[in-house]
Copies of this chain bind each other. A is one copy, B any other.
């Protein structure tokens, strides 16, 4: 077993800043749910609302905007009426998925406390 050196982790100040930024991607109250909904298909705004009913409209819009800004998801607007807008994960966004899987297994060991 080759554990990653912990010295590497602690080494530089910037590590912690990078990590904080990275965590921002996932740490909003609704971010995980949004990302999960988009794992295997694009999704319209209204569809997302229906699938995550507890989130308020405002916050959903706001979170989508920020995720777009972060480069995690992308937005396609079709000029139709009523309007149609689709959100999907970017390639970069897909890269967080395997890590979430691992985080989950770690999380499970904590639930047994």
Given contacts A23-B26, A27-B23, A32-B19, contact A92 B104 (CB under 8 A): no
26 contacts between A and B (CB under 8 A): A4-B98, A4-B101, A6-B97, A7-B40, A9-B39, A9-B97, A10-B36, A16-B33, A16-B36, A18-B111, A19-B32, A19-B107, A20-B32, A21-B110, A22-B103, A22-B104, A22-B107, A22-B110, A23-B23, A23-B103, A25-B110, A27-B27, A72-B110, A92-B109, A99-B102, A99-B106
A55-87 CB contact bits vs B (8 Å, 1 = yes)?
Answer: 000000000000000111000000000000000
The residues of A with any CB-CB pair to B shorter than 8 Å are 3-4, 6-10, 15-16, 18-23, 25-27, 32-33, 36, 39-40, 70-72, 92, 95-104, 106-111, 113
